[in-house]
Structure 1
Amino acid sequence: MSLKSLNPRLGVLLLFIFAAGLIRVLAGGQVTPFSNISPIGAMALFGGAYFSSKGKSYGFPLLTLFLSDVIMMQLFYREYTQGLLYSGWIWTYISFAAMVLVGQLIIKKVSAGSVILAAVAAALTHWLIADFGVWLGGGTDITTGQPYTRDIAGLIKCYTLAIPYMKNMLIGNLIYGAIFFGGFEIAQRRFPALAVKI
């Protein structure tokens, strides 16, 4: 492959995706003051919106999520590791893939309105899927120290106690979404070669 055949858009999109992974690792290590505000939702939306190839739109963000998870689990959360990852990881990855889909479906044209709508939808999607997994997997009720009851009351309590985390996901989606989408849109205007679809 010659240098002329490389698409600069791919390189810049990957820089945004991997920057999100780095920010997540730093936040997980309590290196930033915003440790509970994650860029992963915005990263999923960004990948879904900008990669025209379905393989790339899911593959690159999921790979970045996986690598950042492995690094965080080995460096900061070893007591929670089960193999390379953590218990219930599959639900996080399903919710993440669903957030990529939200980006594909809602952000057909990048605008403040579409990004905000997608940020809200992604936070709700993550909350519904990931916390269903917490409940289904026998997660612990932080108010009692006991597993959630296996009934609708237990599920509702699990969702209710997870609202602050969903709120943090929404804040992260909005803040990092503004940075990622705004930054890339400005870069495309400054460098027209970045607008060539991949």
Structure 2
Amino acid sequence: MSLDKINIRNYILILIVIAAAATRFFHLDSFTSWFNFTPIGAIAMFGGSYYKSRTKAYLIPLIILFCSDLILNLTVYYNIDGKFDAAVWTYLSFMLMVTVGRYMKKVNVWTVIAGSFACVFIHWIVSDISVVMMTGSMYPRTFAGYLLALQNAIPWERNLLVSTLVYSLVMFGGFEYAKSKFPALQLNSTAELQHS
């Protein structure tokens, strides 16, 4: 295989997403005020923004999130209970966050900040459905119970917002800087279509 046929851009994008996902393994449980400081929002938005292939935009971040979730459950939380009702809502919110990135036509500070707020809002309203719906929930399965769950989730979502802004700054800023230094990372529509 010649170097002309290798899409370096895609490999760099995958490495950035994997590196961000790897930070999920830094164990911050002793710092409870930092709970939910995670790169998932930035990963979703980044994948949606930079992968022009719809399949890659959704699948690559989703597979990396799933693998990191699996590793975390096996090594940190020691909990694989086979209950996927909560995961369905979390992954649905993740897919919607990828969609936010897909709608970012231009990457700049303002679109990344707006996208970060949108991603966290989506996570907040979608993933908390599972908190109310799961068996043994501390919230009644009513709209009032859902509103109470949303209210109680604010500290976690605040941390997710901060982390999404920080990770987005590093991921988007780093890739944009790399693009300015290495022309091979610029989007080449012909190469991207061939490798989609």
Q: TM-score, normalised by structure 1?
A: 0.88
Gaps of 5+ in 1: 141-146
**Structure 2 equivalent of residue 93 of structure 1:** 91
2:106 alignment partner, SS class: coil
Conserved? CA contact 1:148–1:155, under 8 Å: yes
Shift of 1:196: 2.4
Query: What aligned pairs does 1:15-54 form with structure 2 within 5 A after superposition?
Result: 15-27=15-27, 36-54=36-54
Cα distance in 1 for residues equivalent to 2:169 and 2:9: 19
Q: Which amino acid aligns with 1:122?
A: C
2:93·2:127 contact (CA, 8 Å) conserved in 1? yes
Distance 2:102 2:174 in 1: 19
Asked if residue 102 in structure 1 is aligned to residue 93 in structure 2, the reply is no
Deviation at 1:35, TM superposition (A): 5.5
Q: Which blocks of at least 5 consecutive residues in structure 2 are unaligned?
A: none
Percentage identity across paired residues of the two chains: 39
Q: CA deviation at 1:30?
A: 6.7
Cα RMSD after superposing both structures: 2.0
State the 1:109 CA deviation: 0.5
Give TM-score scaled by structure 2 length.
Answer: 0.89
- The counterpart of 1:161, out of the listed 126, 146, 152, is 152
* Residue 18 to residue 163, structure 1, CA distance change in 2 (3 Å): same
Give the number of equivalent residue pairs.
188
Alpha-carbon distance, 1:133 to partner: 1.7
Q: Give the aligned partner of residue 175 of structure 2.
A: 184
Runs of at least 4 residues off by over 6 Å: 28-31
